[in-house]
Every structure is written in C-alpha cells, then in structure tokens.
Amino acid sequence: MEKVISMEELPQYYSDGMSVMVGGFMGVGQPIEIVKNMVEKQVKDLTLICNDTAVPDLGVGTLVVNKQLKKAIVSHIGTNPETGKQMIAEELDVELVPQGSLAERIRAGGAGLGGVLTPTGVGTVVEEGKVKMNVEGKEYILETPLRADVALLKAHKADKAGNLVYRLTGRNFNPMMALAADMVIAEVEELVEVGELEPDEIMTPGVLVDKIVVCGKGE
C-alpha cells in the first residue's frame, strides 16, 4: 500500500465531529503543516486530545482561535488565552487532565487496557465524577483509556514503509499516540528508502503508520 500522500490528498481523511490526537508539547513535535491544512479546510466540531492548546498563532492553537473544536482533552491551557475565553463562555468543553495521567490514558488506549489506577488527583477536583478504588489501603482514581479516530504525528524522518524517527524532544507524545488511533498520519521532514534507517533508530514501526506527508522542516 502506498503510504506517501500529498497535502492536497489529506482532506479525504478529515470529517466533522471526529476525534483527533495531535502529538507535540507546545510547538515541539507537532505536525504544524497538517494542522494548517485542517484550518484551511474548516473541518469542525473536533474533539482534540493533545498535551496542550499551544499558543493562538501556532499549531493546534489555531484550531482553537478558528473555533473548530467542540472539546479539548489536555493537560493545560495557560499558554493560549483564547482557550480559556471559550471555556468560560461555554463555547468549548475543556477536560483538564494531569499530564502524567493524560499520557497513561493514551498508553492504556493503545494497549487495549480498561484504564489505569493513579493516586494523582485523589482528594482534588480531578476525582470528581470518577471511580475510586482502594488497593491495599491506598486510594486510587480510575482513569479511563483514550483513543481517537485519527492521530496526527510529527517525525524527523520516515522511510517509505512508514517507519518513523523523531528528533530529540520532538518525540514526546508521538509514539504512544501512534498506538491509540484508528488511523495514523505522520508529517515528516525527510523521506528515505526502505532499508536506509538503522533498526535501532526507528521509534515508531511502519505497521502503525497509515499515511505520510513530506513537508520539510516547516516552522
């Protein structure tokens, strides 16, 4: 199956109301060019699962400003004032999740687990509406798994089979999200032939990646 597609072919994989995981920590490791394409195509009513909502003029922050989200599941919103404004105005549903718990929920979704037990948030607003369990005398919150219709990743390099290599901290949430979505689309800076990547440098195996878009270094 041909995995390499053009930016013009991307919109066929978007649909209003879909859930989308986007890798990255702020702008680092985020598929900036793919997100620009989503803004351009005006796909709407999205549920975003991401570490954060970035800043107003970069990455997923532009989806917030353009009011293309109906819900955001993130660890913080402090760097994007527009997210807070829409949340207060009840225009955007924001679910705040401690960062470690967010990572574990995504991992659980990718591993087919029913959730994870964590002490983080016990006795705080984080536990509201959630199942609590006592294990060997200690209280835990059950955090449920997260999956998405599409995961949008950013990698440094890929081969034509979809094997991905990340650069430094650009790795962040990307590898775990590759396991937790029905379709995985990767934006890459460089494309090489199969066999050119050293096995030890591959961090996401090609079997998990459905489509690749080559965009150069971007922003």
For position 39, which CATH number holds? Answer: 3.40.1080.10
- Give domain status of residue 51, yes or no: yes
Structure tokens at 210: 């459905």
Determine the pLDDT at residue 165. 97
Determine the pLDDT at residue 27. 78
- Give domain status of residue 110, yes or no: yes
Determine the pLDDT at residue 219. 46
> Count of domains in the chain?
1
Q: Which domain holds residue 189?
A: 4-120+127-214
The secondary structure of the chain in percent helix, strand, coil, rounded to multiples of 5, reads 30, 30, 40
- Give domain status of residue 62, yes or no: yes
Sequence-distant (6+) residues with CB within 8 A of 24 are 30, 31, 50, 51, 54, 59, 60, 154, 170, 172, 173, 174
Sequence-distant (6+) residues with CB within 8 A of 69 are 45, 46, 47, 48, 63, 92
In contact, 170 and 154? CB cutoff 8 Å: yes
Q: Cα–Cα distance between 185 and 156 in angstroms, integer?
A: 14
- Give domain status of residue 219, yes or no: no
- Give domain status of residue 39, yes or no: yes
Task: List average pLDDT for each run of 10 residues in the chain, which is 219 residues long.
Answer: 92 96 90 96 97 94 97 96 96 96 97 96 92 96 97 97 94 96 97 95 97 78
Determine the pLDDT at residue 217. 62
Distances, alpha carbon 116 to alpha carbons 83, 97, 179, 217, in Å: 28, 13, 16, 36
* Side-chain half-sphere exposure of 174, counting CA atoms within 13 A: 32
- Give domain status of residue 189, yes or no: yes
- Give domain status of residue 87, yes or no: yes
- Give domain status of residue 75, yes or no: yes
